[in-house]
Amino acid sequence: MANITELQQTVSQVRRDIVRMVHANNSGHPGGSLGCSEYLVALYFETMKHDSNFKMDGKGEDLFFLSNGHISPVFYSVLGRSGYFDVAELATFRKINSRLQGHPTTHEGLPGVRMASGSLGQGMSVAIGAAQTKKLNGDDRIVYSLHGDGELQEGQNWEAAMYASANKVDNLICAIDVNGQQIDGSTEEVLDMGSLEAKFTAFGFDVITEKEGNNMEKVLDVLAEAKSRTGNGKPICILLHTEMGNGVDYMMGSHKWHGVAPNDEELANALAQNEETLGDY
C-alpha cells in the first residue's frame, strides 16, 4: 500500500529541484514540469517495476518514455531521486559537458533515458515500438508514455494511435498531460482540438479521464485502474488534467511559465511554498 505522505514529500522535493534547476540556468521549462510532478513520482516511486541500475534493454521492467521532452526538469529530478544517478548531477542541467541536456537524450549516456525527445510527436510511436518488442519477447511488463496536450497537434500521434488500436497494443498506457496550455496561449486559442476523450475513443483507445492530476491519491488510483485494464485488446489513454505550474502559486494555470525561469525573488517564493523533504541537491 502506498504511503501517500511519503510520496507527497517526494513531490515537494521534486518541485524544489525543478525550480532550482531552471533558475540556475535562467532557462528551461518549469510550468509543465511542476504540473507532472505527481504523475512521475507516482510512476517511479510506486507504480512501475524498474531498476535504477539502468539497462537500455529494460527486459522484465516497466518502461517510461517522455514524449514532451521539454519537461526534462521533472524527469531528471525523479530519475535522480529514484537512484539512477547522484542528485548532485542535477546542478549540471543545461550546462556545457552535462549529461542533463536541455531535452533528454541517450547521447550523453544519462541512466534512465532510453530515447531522445524534444522534437514533439514522436514518443507514442516509440512507446508502441517498445511495447511490440515486449510482446515479441514474451515480456509482460507495461510501457508508459507521457505527452503534452498541445503536442497532440502533431499528426504523428494520430498515425501512432491508429496503429496501436488496429494492432491491439494493449500493454501500453499513454498519459496526456491536459493542462490546456501551450507556448502561444491556451490550447483552445492556439488550435482547438475539441474533445480529446472523443478523439482517443474514436481511435480505439480505452480512455480514462482523471480531473485531478495533481492529487496524489487520485493519480495512484487512475494508474492502478489503467494497469488493471491492460491486456484487454486496447491501448489505454489517461487524460490527466493537471495545472501548469502546480505547487507554485504565481505560476499556476498560466502558459506564461511554459518556458520561463524564475528570478531570485521568485525562486525564494517558490521554495517557500515547497518544503525541503529529502535534502536539496
Partner 1 sequence: MKKYPYTETKDTRSGFGAGLVEAARKNPEIVGLCADLTGSLKMNAFEDEFPERFFQVGISEANMMSMAAGMTIGGKIPFTGTFANFSTSRVYDQIRQSIAYSNKNVKICASHAGLTLGEDGATHQVLEDLGMMKMLPGMVVINPCDYNQTKAATMAIAEYVGPVYLRFGRPKMPVFTPADQVFKIGEAVMLNEGSDVTILATGHLVWEAIEAGHILAEMGIDAEVINIHTIKPLDAEAILKSVKKTGCVVTAEEHQMNGGLGDSVAQLLALNNPTPLEMVAVNDTFGESGVPALLMEKYGLTRTDIVKSVEAVLKRK
Binding site for partner 1 (CB under 8 A): 56-59, 63, 65, 105-107, 114-119, 121-123, 125-134, 136-137, 139, 155-156, 159-160, 162-163, 166-167
Residue 130 vs 173, nearer CB to partner 1: 130
DSSP H or E stretch at residue 241: strand 236-241
- As a whole number of angstroms, the distance between CA 47 and CA 223 comes to 7
DSSP string, 111-175: TT--S---STT-HHHHHHHHHHHHHHTT----EEEEEETGGGGSTHHHHHHHHHHHTT--SEEEE
Instruction: Pick the closer one to partner 1 by CB: 87 or 173.
Output: 173
- Shortest distance, CB of residue 125 to partner 1, whole angstroms? 3
The nearest distance, CB 114 to partner 1, in angstroms, is: 5
Least Å distance, CB 166 to partner 1, is 8
The nearest distance, CB 231 to partner 1, in angstroms, is 18
> Facing residues of 207 across strands?
237
Cα separation, 118 vs 41, in Å, equals 21
Beta strands 185-186; 181-182: pairing state: antiparallel
CB of 239 to partner 1, least distance (A): 21
CB of 128 to partner 1, least distance (A): 5
Sign of CA dihedral 37, 161, 236, 130: negative
Q: How far is the CB of 223 from partner 1 (least distance, A)?
A: 21
**Rounded to the nearest whole angstrom, what is the least distance from the CB of residue 155 to partner 1 in the complex?**
8
Q: Rank residues 33 and 122 by Cβ distance to partner 1 and give the closer one.
A: 122
Q: Which is nearer to partner 1, 200 or 281 (CB)?
A: 200
CA distance 129 to 145: 12
Q: Which residue, 152 or 160, has its beta carbon nearer to partner 1?
A: 160
Residue with cell 531570485: 264
Of 235 and 245, which has the nearer Cβ to partner 1? 235
Q: How far apart are CA 209 and CA 75, in angstroms?
A: 23
Of all helices (H) and strands (E), which one includes residue 63? strand 63-66
Question: Toward partner 1, which CB reaches closer, 4 or 202?
Answer: 202
Q: Which of 182, 189, 200, 197 is nearest to 244 (CA)?
A: 182
Residue with cell 511488463: 141
Q: Of 70 and 81, which has the nearer Cβ to partner 1?
A: 70
